[in-house]
Amino acid sequence: MPYDQARQTNEIFMKLNNMITVVGAHAEGEVGRVITGGLLPPPGATMLDKLINMENNMDWVRQMLLSDPRGSVNTSVNYITPPCHPDADFGMIVMESDYYVHMSGSNLICTVTTALETGMVPMAEPFTKVVVDTPAGLVHVTAECENGKCRRISFDNIPSFVMHRDRIIDVPGFGSRRVDVSYGGMIYVIAEAAEFGFSLHPSESRDLVEIGEILKKAAAEQLPSVHPEIPEIHTVNQTQFTGPLETKDGVKTSKNAVIVSPGRLDRCPCAQARQPDWHCCMPEAKLRLERSLFIAQFWILSLNVKSSELRRSEICKQSSHRSKVVRGSPGFRSMASILKTHSQLVIGSPIHGLNKHWLENTRRFKICGCFSLAG
């Protein structure tokens, strides 16, 4: 290629509009990438204001990082910003394929791990305490650290509560079904898996996703759900199918499956979804919780690995209205600079509906779980 032509070609490709630094992390297998540089924070007096401003004026970031070829439907992106609250160390904005999330446990774990392991926030061993400013409120976090790594993250979640209990809705293809709607950072419609013919076995993955999206839409239309203190948080955006609560070897045991739009199974145990579920159970004393600290160990079936592979999520509960501590094991996966050139367009959007190839492969895909891919 002649020199002048090569130089001209190189100049075309190097006219950059944006270069965003993104760190790859996971929480019990749920991927959460974290933006650590390349963007100025959106304006706003509160984190909720910042989220709304970003959704209205900077949505190209979500589209660029979550759309093919840079992203995928099974990924979330988290943006570390300066905090708005004086007691917080940093702020967090969560972006998923279909919407902006006010608070997510797995994404919080990924974000705190990234902030500490990249040096954005000083790490102290054996424990580092940080406060994260989210659009849903302040979240107090404790990171167990060793040799410069985050080994485990625990956090005091925002209050969770029941919004609708034992409500009958019409679900297309199933008729009348009983559901609950609760809030735990996101708004979940909760249904017993058996009422829809499920045993929560890996072979049911595709059907769970399809019916979960139908159920979510029906609940959103028939059960208006608005946060009593933050009206900007509204509308059902997650589905949780629950299995029966059992006691095995003295341990409370249950299975669940959480459906994330536009159509996939949550890879992590999704303890945040179980918090509202407990509140729905408590009026009938299905869970006998004391005022003092109570630890319930749930063995949750991961629907995208073999049925024999179970992972444990430890959840501590201290009161009937606020789940105090959720613990999870994080992992630091990768770091990359995402480039957007002058002539490059954000093509398409995250896959809406079902990604057949991804769903079918979840039955063969082994999750990395609590192991760090970066060593």
Q: Tens digits of per-residue pLDDT, 37-80?
A: 999 999 999 999 999 999 999 999 999 898 877 888 888 999 99
Based on the fold, state whether residues 15 and 102 are members of the same structural domain: yes
Q: With 70 as the cut, is the pLDDT of residue 182 above it?
A: yes
Question: What angle do helix axes 47-57 and 59-66 make, rounded to 10 degrees?
Answer: 70
Alpha carbon distance 83, 88 (integer Å) = 6
The verdict on 76 and 186 lying in the same domain is: no
Closest CA to 329 of 275, 276, 367: 367
Helical (H) or strand (E) element with 197:
none
What are the backbone angles phi and psi of residue 361, rounded to the nearest 5°? -80, -15
Q: What is the DSSP letter of 211?
A: H
pLDDT attached to residue 226: 94
Q: How many domains does the chain have?
A: 2
Domain co-membership, 99 together with 47: yes
Whether 93 is covered by a domain: the verdict is yes
Q: What is the pLDDT of residues 362-374, one digit of tens each?
A: 332 222 222 222 2
Same domain as 14, residue 142: yes
Residues 215, 343 within the same domain = no
Query: Does residue 79 lie in a domain region?
Result: yes
Q: Is 200 left (phi over 0), alpha (psi -120 to 50) or beta?
A: left
| Tokens representing residue 201 in the block | 């076995």
Q: Kindly state whether residue 240 falls inside one of the protein's structural domains.
A: yes
Confidence of residue 339 (pLDDT cuts 50, 70, 90): low
Mean per-residue pLDDT of the chain: 75
Query: What's the pLDDT band for 328 if we cut at 50, 70, 90?
Result: low
Whether residues 135 and 242 fall in one domain: no
Which of these is catalytic: 67, 76, 97, 104? 104
pLDDT of residue 352 exceeding 70, the answer is no
Residues 152 and 253 occupy one common structural domain: no
- The answer to whether 84 touches 125, Cβ cutoff 8 Å, is no
* 373: in domain: no
Give the other-Cβ count within 10 Å of 11's Cβ.
10
Comparing 320 with 120, the larger pLDDT belongs to: 120
pTM as predicted: 0.75
Confidence of residue 345 (pLDDT cuts 50, 70, 90): very low
Least confident interval from 1-5, 17-21, 52-56, 319-323: 319-323
Catalytic residue list contains 104: yes
DSSP codes of every residue in 303-325: TTS-TT-EEEEEEEE-SSS---E
Residue among 253, 267, 372, 369 nearest 315 (CA): 253
Structural domain boundaries, residue 142: 3-157+331-361
**CATH code for the domain in which residue 237 is found:** 3.10.310.10
pLDDT for res 4: 58
pLDDT score for 213: 96
HEC string of 52-119 equals: HHHHHHCHHHHHHHHCCCCCCCCCEEEEEECCCCCCCCEEEEEECCCCEECCCHHHHHHHHHHHHHCC
